[in-house]
Structure 1
Amino acid sequence: MVTKTLLCQACFGPVEYFTYLNKGPVIIEKHSHYSRQSYRNRYIILGANGPLSLTIPVEKQKNQKVADKDVKIAYHSSWQNNHWHSLVSAYNSSPFFQFYCDEIESFFKEKHTWLFDFNLKATNVISELLGIDTDISFTGEFIETPDKDILDLRESIHPKRSTEENNTSFSPVPYKQVFDDRYGFVPNLSILDLLFNKGPEAVLVLENQA
């Protein structure tokens, strides 16, 4: 019987990620090798021109096999301003943007050294806004083979894999989105899309998707 879910860190993780956080308890892997083009440093929103992938740049490492917990955020570009401008453009007209914008904007004003710290703080803040009270623990070392009672989704929840490929219990439930008149419902975007569009009812959507 599965009692815990093992996840990697995620940057404003997708709805699927928070669906499992809502089910809880969760273990977050700190010692896996950092992988680019994953949700570790990117999140996907829905803008006027369709789905938009926003990426947090990280410092280049001499050792390619750097642990997730040791990745530093790079500030050689104005990515914070660009991300926030994109979020405002996409969600300023959403029902709950003004309600939550101050808490979310703070992530694009403060400078965090470590990507893991940024992601964990964002996950905790959004969980609090959604009313998710989940027991989160962390690996003390890399878990090669998890125990049988642990559902390992570390590499399953990935922007290059569809939810159908994961063969998990996640089943997207449509909700009203800002640009659904142009694109229809776009599933499994960043949790920010669900938060800004559904507000306090977002957690109900999460519960219906498990």
Structure 2
Amino acid sequence: MTGLIHPTYFPNIAHFWAVVNADSIHLEVFDNYQKQSYRNRTEIYGANGKLALTVPVSYTQKNRQLYKNVKIANEEQWQLLHLKSLQSAYSMSPFFEFYIDDFMPLFENKFDYILDFNLKCLDIIISSLQLNIRPIQSTVFEKEPINKTDYRNLVKRNSEVKTFESYTQVFTEKHGFIPNLSILDLLFNEGPNTELYLKKQELLII
């Protein structure tokens, strides 16, 4: 099965389920940018429950822009804020210290475009998990993809998926299990078991 997804900011678990369980994965890079999506947003488990981290972008709804042309608004100190949020949320997780150094280039280096940043996020996650996966970037936009399973709908924040099997999260005792957060939540809590966990799940888009 060949899967087609949008590159997103630290993809959620449903997105990464599609990555791990596909024979090959294609990345949609020729679509128009849309606000209110996971393209520039990820969700983690903070001390007070679900916490959204959003990368600020320079975008106006008046003039359509291709996803690949949308710039990050680097005037804001968003990288430092996001790093501190991750440290606060996951410093007590079993595998945070093991993996966090892999992700530091994302917070220490400037990225001009949100798509480039998201592609780097995906690359680092695949490398950290030592996955034998080489995503292929699309060359044209296909409204109705041929010979591909279309998971692009997962980029919408209102997309609902079947709740995956629970795993231990840092603040489970305070707020219970929160499903389908950023892949970082699974990685920092489950470590090398992340790939096995994803392969055991079944994805059902509601």
- C-alpha separation in 2, matches of 1:62 and 1:203: 38
1:197 to 189, 195, 198: 189
String of CA shifts for 1:128-171, please: whole Å, max 9, x gaps. Answer: 11122223112111112111x3111112343222114xxxxxx5
How far off its partner does 1:94 sit? 0.4
1:175 aligned partner, one-letter code: Y
Do residues 109 (structure 1) and 101 (structure 2) align?
A: no
Task: Check conservation: 1:23, 1:134, Cα contact below 8 A.
Answer: no
- C-alpha separation in 2, matches of 1:158 and 1:202: 24
Name the TM-score, length of structure 1 as normaliser.
Answer: 0.91
Q: Could you say if the C-alpha distance between residues 30 and 132 of structure 1 is closer, same or farther in structure 2, counting changes exceeding 3 Å?
A: same
Q: Which residue of 1 aligns with 2:58?
A: 59
Q: Which residue of 1 aligns with 2:128?
A: 129
The DSSP-based 3-state class of the residue aligned with 1:51 is strand
Q: Which residue of 2 aligns with 1:17?
A: 15
1:172 to 164, 168, 188: 164
Name the TM-score, length of structure 2 as normaliser.
Answer: 0.92
How far off its partner does 1:69 sit? 1.0
How far off its partner does 1:127 sit? 0.9
Segments of structure 2 that go 5 or more residues without pairing to the other structure are: none
1:207 aligned partner, one-letter code: K
How far off its partner does 1:18 sit? 0.8
The DSSP-based 3-state class of the residue aligned with 2:33 is coil
How far off its partner does 1:54 sit? 0.4
String of CA shifts for 1:1-21, please: whole Å, max 9, x gaps. Answer: xx2111111110001111111
- C-alpha separation in 2, matches of 1:133 and 1:142: 26
The DSSP-based 3-state class of the residue aligned with 1:188 is coil
- C-alpha separation in 2, matches of 1:54 and 1:133: 28
Segments of structure 1 that go 5 or more residues without pairing to the other structure are: 165-170
- C-alpha separation in 1, matches of 2:59 and 2:151: 26
How far off its partner does 1:33 sit? 0.9
1:198 aligned partner, one-letter code: E
- C-alpha separation in 2, matches of 1:34 and 1:126: 23
Q: Which residue of 2 aligns with 1:152?
A: 150
How far off its partner does 1:192 sit? 0.6
How far off its partner does 1:34 sit? 0.4
The DSSP-based 3-state class of the residue aligned with 1:155 is helix
2:11 aligned partner, one-letter code: G
Aligned length: 201
How far off its partner does 1:66 sit? 0.7
- C-alpha separation in 2, matches of 1:207 and 1:138: 23
Q: Which residue of 2 aligns with 1:187?
A: 179
